[in-house]
Chain A
Amino acid sequence: MTLKFSPAPLVYVALLMTPVYWLVVMSFKTNAEIGGQLTFYPHDFTFQNYAAIFGDRDWYMGYVNAVIYVMMNVIISVGVALPAAYAFSRHDFFGQRALFFSLLMFRMLAPAILLAPFVQIFSDLGMIDTHIAVAIAHCFFNVPLAIWILEGFISSVPREMDESARIDGYGFAGFMSRILIPQIAPGIAVAAFFCFMFSWIEYMLANALTTIDAKPIAGIMTRAAGVLAGDVAMLSAASVLGLLPGIVLIIFVRKYLATGFSMGRVI
């Protein structure tokens, strides 16, 4: 492969970052400046927008709530997907391919389809406005995704490893925790990353299933955008804060991201 430097990615990434830069700049501006002329950096630099968010419990709890249900979802999704992915990778069983396909099909469903029943079911169970309700609702697209990613990673580990672990006297739990999980740690990181991502960006279910106590930041922003349509500066600051957890996560998993979806044995 030639190693010549190519300007294309540089130009592309610069274009990609322009709106992000614009957002960050707006978050340090006053509304008066935003409403005035187009300026490419804040002339009237202010932390007021961020101070307003961190000073208001409703706003900063929005982030806490989102992080709580996303983390719950990642733990559930990766936790149940790991043994399932192992079964798909190592065992042959009746209906294996049909089952794998059915799972993938759920990943392809849009939240809009299941919104009405989710609202009804969680209301009947008295679970509206709880973090766990959102975490469970987000499982229908994240569990299949996690199985899909992990199956590929497990299938790249030679089967002989399972055999030698058995001979060494490891039980299934010991094998999983001491041998398999360390081997596929990058795969677990990638699966957790994608689960985090799809749960973190999802809006419709997260907003519809919560009212006050578990309301995510996206819901708070929608409400604020309705009431104070003019407060562009504060909404920009809220958006920047909405990007931050993702950026932190990307920096942690950057090495493994490029190994994403290798297709395993089933497909």
Chain B
Amino acid sequence: MTSRALVPFGLLFPALLVMVLSGVIPAAFVAFYSVHDTFSGNSFVWVGAEWYVSVLSSREFWWAFARSLGFSALVLAVEVPLGIYIALRLPPAGPLAAIYIVLLAIPLLAPAIVVGYLWKVLSTPGIGLLSGLAGIFGLSYDMNNPVVVWATLLLMDAWHWTSLVVLLCYAGLRAIPDAYYQAARIDGASPWAVFRHIQLPKLRLVLLIAILLRLMDSFMIYAEAYVVTRGGPGVSTTFLSHELIQTATIQFDLGEGGAMAIIYLGIVLAVSWTFFTLIVPRRRGLA
């Protein structure tokens, strides 16, 4: 190996060191927990795939999994079209654009606990804005109704995160050269044709990034939802992360929690890989 070949490794070393400390080692611990049983947290006995069998045959796990998947699907169905629409309607430049961007970004920087707290208060009967509004229309805002609770969580997530989709799409739109629009004008293309044949294909990459980030983050939503609903009514909003935290740190069942975490890691790997392969050939084609 020549010294030139070693240069990138010197440059990568600090980042890899930090990632080993904060990512690889904890992940290895999780993998270790998942195949051991523990008595007092410091003596471990090899149990093989037992925890995996118990997790995969648990109804609670599959229901929590289904709820998380359903929540993510709804989040994407609402936030992606809305985000694209708002990004298309934002002014391309000027002071108004700057004000919009600042205001759009505010929810993104709201701490999880603040978001949860805010929406809990908004939906509290008697003092909240949402329950008050429902009252005006003669409806009762019943937080014991799973449909109402899901709608509240969805509204909360859309409030918190749609701006990320907007900002990414807005950045993607600004990168489209004016010549494309001029050509479209000459051809007399309708706004829909411009969107379908110029803007949407150019947004493909940023959209894939936005979808991947929103999918992964909503799939493991924790604090925000927990503050609003405590997982209820019943278990109707107990998502995968609640199940995982409940098992690993509250029941202190490291083995079962570990197996759950590794299964989740497998899901992340599969989904990320799918997106990666969707993104890559496109770049190859352009290069």
Contact = CB atoms under 8 A, between A and B. Distances in A.
A124 B15 CA distance: 24
A32 B171 CA distance: 46
A9 to B, nearest CB: 5
A9 B100 contact: yes
Contact of A13 (B11, B103, B254): B103
A175 B114 CA distance: 43
B102 A254 contact: yes
A53 interface: no
Nearest to B15: A84
A140 B19 contact: yes
B59 interface: no
B188 interface: no
A17 B27 CA distance: 39
Interface in B183-213: 205-206, 209, 212
B206 A250 contact: no
B109 A104 contact: no
Interface in B215-266: 216-217, 219-220, 222-223, 227, 241, 244-245, 248-249, 254, 257-258, 261, 264-265
Q: Chain A interface mostly helix, strand, loop or mixed?
A: helix
A116 B248 contact: yes
A99 B276 CA distance: 13
B90 interface: yes
A253 to B, nearest CB: 9
Given A1-B178, A110-B220, A263-B209, A201 B30 contact: no
A258 B101 contact: yes
A139 B22 contact: yes
Given A116-B249, A221-B117, A110 B222 contact: yes
B127 A117 contact: no
Nearest to B98: A254
Contact of A9 (B86, B113, B178): B86
A252 B273 CA distance: 35
Contacts of B141: none
Contacts of A225: 117, 227
A147 B18 CA distance: 13
Nearest to A219: B113
Interface string A1-45: 101011011001100111110110010000000110010000000
A188 interface: no
- Which interface class (under 10, 10 to 19, 20 to 34, 35 or more) fits B? 35 or more
Interface residues of A, number: 92
Given A22-B122, A235-B117, A246-B106, A218 B29 contact: no
A201 B90 CA distance: 26
A19 B159 contact: yes
Contact of A243 (B9, B110, B126, B127): B110
A108 B220 CA distance: 10
A35 B222 contact: no
Interface in A89-103: 91, 93, 99, 101, 103
A55 B12 CA distance: 46
Interface in A134-153: 136-140, 143-144, 147
Given A236-B121, A243-B114, A105 B269 contact: yes
Interface in A246-267: 246-247, 249-251, 254-255, 257-263, 267
Contacts of A201: 108-112, 115
Contacts of A173: none
B111 A116 contact: no
B123 to A, nearest CB: 11
Interface in B53-77: none
Contacts of B90: 6, 9
Residue of B5, B26, B217 contacting most chain A CB atoms (<10 Å): B26
Interface string B83-113: 0011001111000001011111111111111
A60 interface: no
B109 A112 contact: no
Contacts of A26: 121
B154 interface: no
A191 interface: no
Contacts of B100: 9, 13
Given A76-B18, A236-B121, A197 B8 contact: no
13 contacts: A6-B91, A22-B129, A101-B272, A105-B272, A113-B264, A143-B18, A197-B109, A203-B112, A221-B114, A246-B106, A246-B108, A254-B105, A260-B168
Given A110-B217, A243-B110, 6 more contacts: A1-B181, A20-B107, A87-B7, A108-B216, A115-B249, A261-B168
Closest 6 CB pairs of A and B: A246-B109, A110-B220, A117-B29, A84-B15, A87-B11, A140-B23
